[in-house]
């Protein structure tokens, strides 16, 4: 495919090919400021896509809650392990 040449640093994650992934990670900004900036950017993207609209649906909040449920299950897994029904899987 003839894409116009875009620098590796500006590409989004979905456009990066698998082989270029380590070098792409190298260009990312891992300073605390950079991390904060990326968190804020992600939050703003999510907010603008799902919540800051005229007729939002349940999706915006529900996805957030589902993500929270999944994350809290993950954090509690070491404790929930003891409720397993079988010893060998």
Partner 1 sequence: MLSRLVLVSGHTLKNSGSFGACLVQASRSFHQSSQSLAPVPPLPEKGGKVRHGIFPEELFTLLYPKTGVTGPYMLGTGLLLYMLSKEIYVINHETFAAASIGAVVIYGIKKFGPSVAAFADKINEDKVAKAQEVKDQAMASLTQGIEDEKKEQWRVEGRHMLFDAKRNNVAMLLETNYRERLHMVTNEVKKRLDYQVELQNLHRRMEQEHMVNWVEQSVIKSITPLQEKESIAKCIADLKVLAKATQARATV
- The residues that touch partner 1, with contacts defined as CB under 8 A, are 49-63, 66, 73, 80-81, 83-86, 89
Q: Which is nearer to partner 1, 20 or 52 (CB)?
A: 52
Q: How far is the CB of 47 from partner 1 (least distance, A)?
A: 9
Which of 17, 15, 39, 44 is closest to 29 using CA atoms?
Answer: 39
DSSP-derived letter for residue 54 is: T
Q: How far is the CB of 69 from partner 1 (least distance, A)?
A: 8
In whole angstroms, give the CA distance from residue 10 to residue 14.
12
Q: Which is nearer to partner 1, 25 or 69 (CB)?
A: 69
Q: How far is the CB of 5 from partner 1 (least distance, A)?
A: 25
11's CB contacts (< 8 A; 6+ apart) are: 24
């Amino acid at each position: 495919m003839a894409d116009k040449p875009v620098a590796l640093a500006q590409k989004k994650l979905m456009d990066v090919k698998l082989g270029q992934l380590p070098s792409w990670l190298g260009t990312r900004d891992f300073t605390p400021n950079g991390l904060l900036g990326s968190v804020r950017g992600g939050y703003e993207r999510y907010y603008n896509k799902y919540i800051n609209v005229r007729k939002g649906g349940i999706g915006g909040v529900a996805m957030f809650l589902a993500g929270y449920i999944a994350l809290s299950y993950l954090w509690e897994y070491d404790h929930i392990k003891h409720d397993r029904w079988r010893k060998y899987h």
